[in-house]
Amino acid sequence: MNVTKTPTGKSINGAEIYAIDLENNTGTKVRIFNYGTIINSFEIINKDGKKQDIVLGFDTIDGYLSDAYLANYPYFGAIIGRYANRIANGSFSIDGTKYELSKNAGGATLHGGTEGFDKKLWNIDQVATEPHASVTFSYTSPDGEEQFPGTLETQLSFELTDHNELILSYQAETDLATAVNLTHHSYFNLSAEGGNIAGHLHRMNASRYLEQDDNFTVTGNLLPVEGSHHDFRLGKTIGENWDAETGYDQTYVLDKPYGDLTLASETTDPVSGLRLQVYTTEPVAHFYTAKHLEVQNGKKGQEYRPFDAFCVETQHHPNGINIADFPSTVLKPGQTYYQTTIYKVII
């Protein structure tokens, strides 16, 4: 096990951005920036004995800060907070008080607002090599940030095991009742050559998905996957019967006991043989096949195009703060928010 901390030469408001490298005993290496806790690379040794990076991104931190990238921003590899996905009309009420948030998606609040947790510089609290290579970050979101109530103390740790498991453990506390729904937004491609992921095999343990309006905001209705192209229960190629123009951008309700750490999805590239399993304590997973992806000068000069990656964003129900029948996303003083998600690569 090995952990290294390297300055990038870039700073935010005078504070240095660092790259943290976690390496296990099998040669797997994960690089994470403390800017947005971005998973910059997830590099494994594939069956041919070659290094293969399974996440999209840039060679250096500069790409994530460039105006060109931010103009068509896909949230590459970053934490999402305070609230993942869309909040309808950019507002919610807690205990009779209504909060109007920053709106950044057609009248809704998307991924925490104009400047969410993905654009914050996180503190590096601890690095360790035992029992596994790990790093723990923290960020204090002040009361009123993006108009959310309460000061939220958030901690996120990454732990890389010898079983090629990257374990993400979240924790948060507040001094005032607030809305919290955290996730991570890595873009995966399991092909050694990259490119379109329509041929990846995908399986998801979900019998229902969440209806969305024309602005992709969850309405509160649950729909059965049976008889629709959303049915991944037995596994199929991602492109088998999708809409080739839109792909998938949908939230699936996982068939699991609430709070249990269980398998949410499994995705395999038939050519490379790589398999990515996602385990989570969260009740839903948002499956996105990157229909809006248009990025120049990615890693090694690559151009990333629509459907060149997939995301499995584990979280609570989007817009759940406004839908009483959904699991609560209200965090109150004296309570602690917990979440665990594991990305496991099988070679």
Active-site amino acid positions: 185, 313
**How far is Cα 135 from Cα 317, in angstroms, rounded to an integer?**
28
Give the 3-state secondary structure percentages of the chain, helix then strand then coil, rounded to 5.
5, 45, 45
- Per-residue b or e along 286-321, where b marks 16 or more CB atoms closer than 10 Å to that residue's CB: bbbbbeebebebbbeebebeebbbbbbbbbbbbbbb
What amino acid occupies position 268?
T
C-alpha distances (whole Å) from 72 to each of 31, 66, 295 are 23, 11, 8
3-state secondary structure 196-216: CCCCCEEEECEEEEEEECCCC
- E strand or H helix that includes residue 69: helix 67-71
* Cβ(218)–Cβ(86) below 8 Å: yes
SS3 of residue 38 by DSSP: coil
* Cβ(327)–Cβ(210) below 8 Å: no
**How far is Cα 83 from Cα 181, in angstroms, rounded to an integer?**
4
* Cβ(19)–Cβ(149) below 8 Å: no
As given in the structure block, the two tokens for residue 179 are: 């809305």
